A and B are shown apart, each in its own frame.
Chain A
C-alpha cells in the first residue's frame, strides 16, 4: 500500500472528530500564506550541520554527504501518527534508497532520548537525529508555530511539546523532504502545504535514481 493511502486512512480516522478537524483546518490556514516560498529551494546549498543522533553520537553533514546523496526528512515527533506511518514507510524504502547510493536521515525537534525510543519502537535502521532548539529547521525555513486549536488538542491528549523539545515555542517543522547531492545542493524537495501529506517514498527513490543517472 502506498504511504498516501495509509495517510488517507489515518486522516479519515483523525478528522472524524470535530476537534481534530478544527485543529487540522487551523494548521492548513497557517501554512496557506506562501509558506513553501520560504523553504530552502531546489538549487540552494544546504546549511551544514552537526546533530546528535539517536545513539548519542554527533553526526556531521559533510561526513554524511561524503557517502553519497542524502535524503533528509523533517518529522514532528513520535506523538504524530502521520510521522510514525511515514517513518515506517521510509524503513520499507530504505533498501531502495541504499541501492541508489543514498543515505537517509530523519530529523525531529524532540529531545530527551525520544529519537532512540522511536528508533527502537519502530525498528528503524536509518539515522534519526534531534534538532535541538530547531537550529536546522530554522535554517531550512520549515518551522511554523502550531495554532491555538491544535495546541489545545495536543494538551488534551497529554502531549507537552515544551517538555519534549525543551523549548516552549510550540514550533514544529513542516514535514518536508529534501534530496541533497554530494556537493551539498538541494536537488529535489517535497514541501507539503498539508502536514498530513508526505513525500511518497517511491518518489524519493525515483528522484535519487534520476540524480545518479
Chain B
C-alpha cells in the first residue's frame, strides 16, 4: 500500500463524502476513487459502503481506520523528525509516571533520548494513574507510563510494557516475613499505609489505611517508622531495614499510553519508539 492511498482513506473516513475528500486531498475524484479501490483490493475487502446518498465505513473499514491512522501518523512523525535533523529547536516531552514506579525504570530510554535530542526539554509529572489519564486527555501530558487501572479511557492508545505483581513491604523481622507468597487474606488484619492510587484500588477498598502518603519514599519511611505495612510494585527496591514479600494477587500490566490520533512531537515520537522497541521483561 502507498502513503497517499492511506491519506485519501483517512480523509474519506472523516468526511464520508468522495467530493469533499478529493478536495481536501487536492486530487480529482476519479483519482481518489481509484486509490481507494486499490487499497481495498490490497486489504482484502471493501472499506466503504457507497449508497446513493450515504457513504459509510464497512466493518473492515472501521477496524482498519485506527490502525492505518496510527501508521500514517507514525510516517508523518518520521518525516517531521527527519526534517528537524540538526536544527536547534526546543523539543519538549511531558511525561507522566505512576507514583509507584521508579524513574530509574525509564533510565535507558531517557538517557538515549537526551543523547540524541540536544534540545530535549523533559518534564516529569508523578501522580496516580487516573489523574495521569485525565492529563493525557486534556493535553497537558504527551505520554504516560502507568500501572493500568482496570479501565483505561478508550481514546488512549496503550501498549503493555510488562506485567508486574505486587509485594508487601514490611520491617525486617515482621511476623509475615516467613510467608511467600503472603495471602491477601492476611492484609485484612494489618495496618496499611494508604497511597490514594491504583494500588489501593487493586488491593481492595475495605482495608484499614489510617496513615497515608502519596510518594514512594514517604510510604516506605512510614513503614520504617513502624506505622504499618505497604503494598508496592514487585520491582520496587525496599529501603534499608525493609523487606518485600510477594502478594498472592494477579499481576497487572504496566502500560505506555498516548492519546490516539493526536499528532506528537519529535521527543514524544522518539520516546514511544524507544520504549516500544525494547524488552522490558525477558523476551518469550
Q: Which residues of A contact B (CB under 8 A)?
A: 30, 33, 35, 38, 47-52, 56-58, 60-62, 111-117, 129-130, 132-136, 138-139, 141, 143-145, 147-148, 166-169, 171
Contacts and interface: CB of A to CB of B under 8 A. Distances in A.
B71 A58 contact: no
A141 B71 contact: no
Nearest to B41: A33
A139 B3 contact: yes
B274 interface: yes
Contact of B276 (A48, A57, A111): A111
Contact of B277 (A56, A61, A145, A167): A56
B112 A135 contact: no
Contacts of B42: 30, 33, 35, 144-145
Most buried by A among B70, B113, B280: B70
Contacts of B72: 138
Nearest to A48: B82
A135 B71 contact: yes
Interface in B33-68: 38, 41-44, 64, 67-68
Contacts of B276: 111-112, 130, 132, 166
B190 interface: no
A113 B44 contact: no
A49 B64 contact: no
Contact of B279 (A51, A113, A132): A113
A114 B280 CA distance: 11
14 contacts: A47-B78, A50-B81, A50-B82, A52-B274, A52-B278, A111-B276, A112-B283, A113-B280, A113-B283, A133-B73, A133-B74, A139-B79, A145-B44, A147-B44
Contacts of A171: 67, 71
Given A49-B82, A130-B276, A139-B3, A114 B283 contact: yes
A135 B78 contact: yes
A62 B71 CA distance: 22
Given A38-B2, A112-B279, A145-B1, 12 more contacts: A58-B274, A62-B82, A112-B283, A113-B278, A113-B283, A114-B279, A134-B74, A135-B71, A138-B1, A138-B6, A139-B3, A167-B70
A24 to B, nearest CB: 16
Nearest to A141: B2
Contacts of A136: 75, 78
Contacts of A58: 112-113, 116, 270, 273-274
A161 to B, nearest CB: 12
Contacts of A167: 67, 70-71
Nearest to B117: A58
B3 A141 contact: yes
B272 interface: yes
A135 B74 contact: yes
B41 A51 contact: no
A61 B81 CA distance: 11
A2 to B, nearest CB: 31
A160 to B, nearest CB: 10
B83 to A, nearest CB: 8
B225 interface: no
Interface string B122-133: 000000000000
Contacts of B6: 138
B25 interface: no
Given A56-B277, A116-B279, A171-B71, A50 B78 contact: yes
Contacts of B108: 56
A48 B85 contact: yes
Contacts of B116: 50, 57-58, 60
Contacts of B78: 47-50, 135-136, 139
B77 interface: yes
B1 A130 contact: no
